Amino acid sequence: MATENTELMRKAQKAMEGKWILAIGTLLVYVLINAIIQGLTTYFEFAGLLSFVLAGPLALGLHVFSLNIYRGYEAGVENLFEGFQNFLNSFVAYALMMIFVILWALLLIIPGIIAAISYSQTLFIMVDDPNIGPMEAIDKSKAMMDGYKMKYFTLSLRILGLGLLCILTLGIGFFFLMPYAEVLYAAFYSDLKGDVLEEKIELYQ
């Protein structure tokens, strides 16, 4: 049985103790890097393509950082760039996820949301298994999320609710919510992976 979302939120908050400044700083660096790349699109036509190409490795690096925080491992801003050690696979995985979500969304918004949730664990899986192929990671994510998509959706609604409250703080609360949400999703993955290892062990053989 997977851990209740409220308990996952408590665990994520516990994992953040003493690491808030590091987490906020790292998220700001991540946002700044993406903002700079996006800003280049105003001056260089190739920058849009560059943003798409770098999105996967940077997202993988953010997942490395979030998992390190949650698991109590040594974490640092440099984690953001670890995704480039697995550049090709992270790029292909990210591109495939975007393509699949868009294709499902062309049918209706809801199938697109369901698809995005199904693929949500892909990059976390690639952090734990750097040698896994993009499609295999996507397939494992779909298998992991079987029966847990609503749980993930309700967890995301909780984050959305906190986001609405952050508006009341003139946006200051987002500096805390963004890193917390990343660690919370890492907690969700770590907890879910334990369930899958017990119930669907063949996926990891």
Domain that holds residue 193: 5-200
Decide which of 32 and 39 is more confident. Answer: 32
Residue 105 maps to a domain: yes
Mean confidence (pLDDT) of the chain = 90
| Stretch 145-172: mean pLDDT | 94
pLDDT at 45: 65
Q: For residue 71, give the amino acid letter.
A: R
Count of domains observed in the chain? 1
- Please give the torsion angle defined by the CA atoms of residues 162, 178, 174 and 58, in that order, rounded to the nearest 10 degrees: -150
Residue 158 maps to a domain: yes
Residue 205 maps to a domain: no
pLDDT surpasses 50 at 147: yes
pLDDT surpasses 50 at 204: no
pLDDT surpasses 60 at 41: yes
pLDDT surpasses 80 at 144: yes
pLDDT at 191: 94
Can you tell me the distance from the alpha carbon of 76 to that of 27, in angstroms, rounded to the nearest whole number? 11
